[in-house]
Every structure is written in C-alpha cells, then in structure tokens.
Amino acid sequence: MSAEKIMAAWKKKSFKPVYWLEGDEDYYIDSLMNYAEHELLPADEASFNLTVFYGRDAEFASVMNACKRYPMFAEKQVVLLKEAQHMKEIDKLEAYVSAPLASTIFIVAYKGKSLDKRTKLYKLLQTHSEYLKTAKLEGKIAEWITELVQSKGYSIRSKSVALLEEHIGNDLSRIANEIDKISINLKDKKEIDEDDIEKYIGISKEYNVFELQAAITKKDLPKAITILNYFASNPKLVPIQMALPALYANISKVYAVYGMTDKSDNALKPVFYFNPVALSQAKEMMKNYGFDGIERLLLLLHHYNLKSIGIADGGNSGPSLMKEMILKMML
C-alpha cells in the first residue's frame, strides 16, 4: 500500500494493528509518523494512549509491553517506534507482530535502510502488517512538486517548478518545507511564480542553474559569465557540486533523444516530464549543438566533475573551474 492510501485510510478511521514503514525516502515516513503522533487520537485521549519510543534508547521488552497494554477510556491506543533502524534486538518484535493486539495501532519507522528479507520478522511483516517500502523519487520531481502545490490549493508556473527542482534536487522534505513557506506568505494570491521563489526562498530568478542551462543552450556566453560571476560571489548558494549534476541531468536527456526512433513532440514530452519549457529548450540545444556537440558537452561535464573532486586538478576553485568549462563548451 502506498503512503497516500495509508493516510487516506487513517483519515477514514480505518486502521491495521501494525504498520511497518521503511526505505530510503524519509518524506513519506515522516509525514505518516507526524500525522500518527498528532492526529490519530483526539487530544484528550492522546495523553493516556499515545506512547513514543526512539530506537536508539528503546528496549524491545518495553515496546512489547506498551503494545500489549489496553487503552484507557478509549477504543484505541497508538504506539510509535521512531528511528527503529537503531534499535538493538529488533528481530524480537516478531513475537508481537505475529499476534498483535487489535486495540493497539503500532507504527514503526525504519528509515534509510530495509530489513533483511531472510529474517523471520520480515516474513511476518508481509502477512501481519501494512508494509510500506519507500524509495527516492527519481525523474518525477517536477510532477511531484506540481501535484503537491495543487493539493494545497495553488498553481505553479513550469519555470518555477524547474527552479525548485534544479536548486533543491530530490530532497522531498526540503521541497515541501519551502512550498509551505511560500504558501504561508501568498495571502490572496493563488499562483506561485519566480518572484515568490526569489523572495521567500532566496533562489535568484535570474542567476540560477536553470538560467545557466538556458545560456548554454543559446550559446549566450556573456549571460553565462554573468551568472557564473554571481555564483562566485555567492558560493554557498550554487556550489559546483550542485551545478554540475543538474547540468548533466538536463543535457543527458537531450543526448538520449538521439537514440529514439520517434522524435515527435508527443514522443519527447514524457522524456522531459511534460514540461514545455524543458522540451523547447532541448529542441533548441539539439539545433545549436548537434549530436557531436552535445556529446562533447557531456564529456566536458564528466571531466570537470572529476576536477571538482580533486582528480587531475591544479587547485582551481569551483567558480574558476565552472568558467573554464563554460568557455570550452561554447568556443
């Protein structure tokens, strides 16, 4: 079951005795745990019937005893085990998982890793729990941002989505926090644009990786140098370790188009996540560079990525490496 379906069931007051939440994407696990801690029980019941453990300090016997306790003046009690990946002897929870108490909602957050599938506990969880395994969201960040904004009753421009994605990457928790920050300040406005992102998050609408990508596409060297000078003056905002992977992700998509038989707009739209700005930019880059040129861009990105981590580098700073790379790209 997905995180969305679990949340929907909880809002309808439909519960299972055991929930096991694990995997690499913390956002979904944290969202469910936060809701469970603050919303599953009314405030007057939570004081008696909500118990929270942390894996590093929790003893399995204490957790099991809490789960086996009956609720006070209520139909259900909630027991949360956070950071369960740090808990010693966690396999001993199998005794409770195999025969859970119906009046207890036991929710375990096992973040950043997965249980060994060979263990008895793992096998029991497959049949005796609501088991959620999360993974890092790759390739659909723009779609996720748009859906999240819409779920809050707002709309967002495609370029604004690209700004967030390029600057923050696939850190869903941080993206969600930044969108919350913007929405709190929007007041009566219903659309998030680049001005809002610059004002409330601090991502410049003129000097960012997205605009650098556009300058490379157009072979606009003066604009690219202006953006790189801004990066040099604000090294913590856009370090080379963030800029290079973002550029590579975009250009590698363009490179992949050459391997496609169907290069019509309808065929290309999914490659660029139905973002019309990204699709238009990709077509322009293909026109301006051609296959050999785009291949050369990727080789330069790889070469300067190695230099950025100290391989075959003469000690140049990040901004200097970026300028050197951009000059080679466009000349």
pLDDT digits (tens, 9 = 90+) for 46-65: 999 999 999 999 999 999 99
User: SS3 of 167, please?
Assistant: helix
CA-to-CA dists, residue 214 to 166, 206, 218, 287, 291, angstroms: 13, 11, 6, 14, 18
State the Cα–Cα distance between residues 26 and 15, nearest whole angstrom.
22
Same domain, 217 and 314: yes
Same domain, 17 and 124: yes
Same domain, 29 and 120: yes
pLDDT at position 314 is: 61
What range defines the domain where residue 175 resides?
141-200
Question: What is the CATH number for 287?
Answer: 1.20.272
Task: Look up the pTM and report it.
Answer: 0.76
Same domain, 185 and 269: no
Sheet holding 18-23, edge to edge: 50-54, 77-82, 104-111, 18-23, 130-134
- Other beta carbons less than 10 A from residue 30's beta carbon: 17
Same domain, 234 and 155: no
Sign of the dihedral through C-alpha 284, 288, 294, 298: negative
Intervals of the chain under pLDDT 50: none
pLDDT at position 225 is: 94
**107, 81 in Cβ contact below 8 A?**
yes
DSSP 8-state assignment for residue 12:
T
Tokens of 47: 């004081």
Question: What is the CATH number for 185?
Answer: 1.10.8.60
pLDDT at position 153 is: 93
